Amino acid sequence: MKKYVFQRIIFSIITFFFIITLVFFLARATGDPLAELENDPRISPETIQKIRAMFGLDKPLYIQYIDFITNMMLKGEFGYSIIYKRPVMEVINERFPYTLALLIPAITLSNYLAYKIGIEIAWRRRSKIGSAILTFSIIISAVPYFWLALLFLYIFSVRLGWTPIFGAVSPGMSFSWSWEWFADYLYHYALPFTVLVFRSVFSYVLYVRNTAVDILGEDYVNVAMAMGLSPEKVKYDYVAKNALLPIVTVLGLRYAFLIDGAILTETVFSYPGTGRLVFEAIYGRDFWLLQGATVILALSVIIVNLVIDFLYMFLDPRVRYR
Amino acid sequence: MMRIESYKELWTVIRSNKLSLTGFIMLIIIVFIAVFANYIAPYDPYQRFYPPFQPPSPQHLLGTDDVGHDIFSQLIYGTRISLFIGFLSAVIGTLIGLLIGLFSGFFGGAVDNILMRFTDMWLSLPTLLFTIFLVAILLRSSQYPMIYGIILAIALTSWPSVARLVRSAVLSIRERAYIEAVKALGASSTRIMFRHILPNVTSILVAEVVYRTSYAMLTEASLSFLGLGDPTTISWGMMLYYAMVRYAVVLGYWWWFIPPGIMISISVLSVMLVGMALEEYFNPRLRSRY
């Protein structure tokens, strides 16, 4: 077990370095960051030299790489945002909690619902309702997040006026530990959260269902049935329980998938999270902001994956006693 | 390649499932629209009409957008780019995955270990986020996102699952007697891999390319929606991007933002359904699932 824990931690660290290295080399591979300035006749070569020295761009590539990593990890420096005119880390720090507050409840609820629905429709796979839900979930997995968000925004905010059109709190509302703030926050939270959960539940139901259907075909399920166990017992103790493991395995992928959903959903609802920040960075051509948001979101994926690996250890005795 | 009987069997599989049949018919219609877009669209999609923001009328079936483009014509032309980017990036992504899966499965040992850890790393990352990042990087050396840059970016983030699939198939094929026989005859690794193993994984690849196409179409739409589409082309995602930044939703111009979404959903769905039918055809074990 110790070996397993150790392995997972090492793998997470390697993944983190892999991402940082990838980001660094991709960002550098596309050319000199100061190429734009060199074309500008108003800037003398000496000034460019000075800027180069200021940012350490005159050093060899491997030193730049080491600088890049130490700046990121030790000082939390991700550069300077062009659109916000503030350090990238400061902007992300403000925004990330909003995204996390969307993602964690969304992944919990959507996985729970998808699990319940998936097992149920696998159990009744020959019934009308079973195949109707299956068809519906296939259709929903083809609908893009952002369009669903636009549609919900149109129906519930614009047409019905039930929910606000943008933001995480009303304009002018500043954060305080009060019911007033919390109520206003929930009022804004409801719709983006619903879109995220709705879309991700149905894109996942198919997977849960197929997993459960495969388990239904296993011999031990037949034996259990033949032994005369009640259908309820077979469903919950034999099928649902065994379907849990393959589902936990893809939990990390689900989180990553939900991040993609959050980027699109937050963009539509102008929700001030890290996902919307990605859009703003694209819109404002703010590369450093995009890079910062990418690294932070990827880091959160690594941490979530590590947590899931440990969760897996408690669920699967084979891993625990290895 | 496939014999006539196989086509017949494929058709039986498609016909036996109402969903597959619907998907198949829808895909034919969509491909037809893409090919004959210039005959079907009533106007040149770049032609500007006055006034902009027109509601639907007999002249403009779905009205006009913020600069006076006929939305219906743009919708028709959008089919082309969606299928083109989707299919091409799926093919490239599948080829990358195929190569990595082949090498990993065939050589095993350290090669397998390293390649699979690398694949797992890619697989665990948020796909759209990294595609955005890749496009943004390409963007720094050009004025606007180029269509081939977008295809490359989507391909580079879509291969890991293909690599895993191919690898597990190769692992089982590798153990078969005929591979041993070929080895004993002194065939080189490259020959065994491409001549004797590759033909046996093509069936997986066909279904996978179709599946990847549907995902790539969704990714392309998402990229365009976030403002990373090639502005010299017309895509459904980009139509929705302009609709969003020009407040079409808040202003209630449903004819501007509803049709592109329906088109994306229908075309992605049809490709997905055909993919499912192909998967069932090549893997009869799955047929019992439905």
Domain total for chain B?
Answer: 1
In Å, how far are A81, A83, A244, B226 from A287, measured between CA atoms? 8, 10, 41, 15
B49-69 pLDDT, tens digit per residue, is 888 888 888 888 888 888 888
What is the CA A34 to chain-centroid distance, rounded? Answer: 33
Separation in Å, CA of A20 to nearest CA in chain B = 12
Supply the pLDDT for residue B199.
86
Mean pLDDT of chain B: 88
Residue B194 has pLDDT above 80, yes or no: yes
Distance CA B130, CA A297 (A): 10
Comparing alpha-carbon positions, the chain B residue that sits nearest to A139 is: B269
- B249 touching A, CB under 8 A? yes
On chain B, the residues whose CB falls within 8 A of the CB of A158 are: 249-250, 252
Check A260 against B121: CB less than 8 A apart. Answer: no
Rounded Cα distance between B237 and A312, Å, is 38
Q: Which residue has the higher pLDDT, B97 or B8?
A: B97
CB-based contact B244 A259, cutoff 8 Å: no
With a cut of 50, say whether residue B1 has pLDDT above it: no
- Whether the CB of B114 is below 8 Å from some CB of chain A: the reply is no
**Alpha-carbon distances of A189 from A59, A268, B244, B245, rounded to whole Å:** 47, 13, 20, 21
pLDDT for A33 beyond 70: no
Q: Which among B220, B229, B225 is positioned nearest to B257, based on CA atoms?
A: B225
Q: Strand ranges (DSSP E) for B162-267?
A: none
What is the rounded CA–CA span in Å between residue B40 and residue B32?
10
> Residues A31, A33, A34, CA angle at the centre, nearest 5°?
115
The answer to whether B273 and B207 have CB atoms below 8 angstroms apart is no
**Beta-carbon separation of A26 and B134 below 8 A:** yes
CA–CA distances in Å: residue A159 to residues A17, A152, A169, A271, A293: 48, 10, 20, 20, 34
Tens digit of pLDDT for each residue in B85-128?
999 999 999 999 999 999 999 888 899 999 998 898 888 889 99
Where residue B68 falls (left for φ over 0; alpha for ψ -120 to 50; beta otherwise) is left
- Averaged pLDDT for residues A185-205: 92
Q: Token digits for A180?
A: 């007033």
B249 and A158: CB-CB below 8 Å? Answer: yes
Residue type, B202: T
CATH of the domain at B221: 1.10.3720.10
What's the mean pLDDT in A273-290?
88
Closest CB to A15 among B124, B222, B266: B124
Chain B closest-CA separation from residue A74 CA (Å): 23
Q: What is the pLDDT of residues A86-126, one digit of tens each?
A: 988 889 998 999 999 999 999 999 999 999 999 999 888 88
Could you say which of A142, A213, A290 has the minimum Cβ distance to residue B136? A290
Q: Is the pLDDT of residue A17 over 70?
A: yes
Burial profile B158-177: b = 16 or more Cβ within 10 angstroms, e = fewer: bbbbbbbbbbebbeebbeee
Handedness of CA A161, A184, A196, B93 (dihedral sign): positive
* A168, A238 Cβ separation under 8 angstroms: no
Nearest CA in chain B to A19: B121
Query: Domain span at residue B231?
Result: 4-286
pTM (2 d.p.): 0.90
Encode pLDDT of A220-272 as tens digits: 888 888 888 888 888 888 888 888 888 888 888 899 999 999 999 999 999 99
Model pLDDT, residue A156: 92
**Residue among B19, B137, B228 whose CB faces A282 most closely:** B228
Percent of chain B with pLDDT over 90: 42
Interchain proximity B250–A158, CB inside 8 Å: yes
- Per residue in A305-321, pLDDT (tens digit) is 999 888 888 877 777 76
Q: Rounding to the nearest 10 degrees, give the CA dihedral for residues A197, A203, A209, A212.
A: -80
**Structural contact between residues B227 and A286, judged by C-beta atoms closer than 8 angstroms:** no
| H helix runs in chain A, sequence order | 2-29, 35-38, 45-54, 61-73, 88-123, 128-142, 145-152, 179-216, 219-226, 231-233, 241-249, 251-268, 274-283, 287-315, 317-320
Q: Are A208 and A114 in contact (CB under 8 A)?
A: yes
**Cβ separation of B121 and A18 shorter than 8 Å?**
yes
The pLDDT tens digits of the residues spanning B264-286 come to 999 999 999 999 888 888 876 67
- Share above pLDDT 70 across residues of chain B, in percent, rounded to a whole number: 96
How many CB atoms are located within 10 Å of the residue A314 CB? 10
Q: How far apart are CA A313 and CA A316, in angstroms?
A: 5
pLDDT band at B16 (very low <50, low <70, confident <90, very high): confident
Indicate if the pLDDT at residue B170 is higher than 80: yes
Q: Which residue of B has its CA nearest to A289?
A: B133
**For the ranges A75-84, A248-257, B2-11, B37-46, which has the lowest average pLDDT?**
B2-11
Give me the residue label for tokens 């500043």.
A174
The span from the CA of A8 to the CA of B42, in Å, is 59
In whole angstroms, give the CA distance from residue A3 to residue B95.
36
3-state secondary structure A121-165: HHHCCCCHHHHHHHHHHHHHHHCCHHHHHHHHHHHHHHHCCCCCC
Closest-approach residue (CA) in chain B for A134? B290
Residue B142: its chain A contacts at CB < 8 A?
Answer: none
Q: Which of the residue ranges B8-22, B90-104, B245-259 has the most confident prediction, judged by mean pLDDT?
A: B90-104
Quote the percentage of chain A above a pLDDT of 70. 97
How many Å apart are CA B227 and CA A43, to the nearest integer?
31
ipTM (interface pTM): 0.90
**Which of A30, A214, A264 lies closest to B222 in CB terms?**
A264
Between CA A248 and CA A100 the distance in angstroms is 20
Tell me the residue type at A280: E
pLDDT-derived band at A32, boundaries 50, 70, 90: low
**In chain B, what residues touch A252 (CB-CB under 8 Å)?**
124
**Contact of A68 with A33, CB cutoff 8 Å:** no
Write down the mean pLDDT value for chain A.
86
Tell me the chain B residues in contact with residue A298 when contact means C-beta distances shorter than 8 Å. Answer: 125-126, 129-130
Of A144, A147, A165, which has the smallest distance from its Cβ to B250's Cβ? A165
CB contact under 8 Å between A154 and B254, yes or no, is yes
| Total Cβ atoms within 10 A of residue B140 | 14
What span, in angstroms and rounded, lies between the C-alpha atoms of A146 and A157? 15
Q: What is Dmax (Cα atoms) for chain A?
A: 88
Q: Give the Cα separation of B145 and B167 in Å (integer).
A: 33
pLDDT at A30 over 80: no
- Could you tell me if B225 and A146 are in contact, meaning their C-beta atoms sit under 8 angstroms apart? yes
Cα–Cα distance, B123 to B30 (Å, whole number): 31
Q: What is the pLDDT of residue B3?
A: 59
Residue A81 neighbours by CB distance under 10 Å = 24
Choose between A135 and B18: higher pLDDT. Answer: A135
Instruction: For residue B113, give the 3-state DSSP assignment.
Output: helix
B287 has a pLDDT exceeding 70: no
Of the candidates B139, B150, B260, the one whose C-alpha atom is nearest the C-alpha of residue A282 is B139
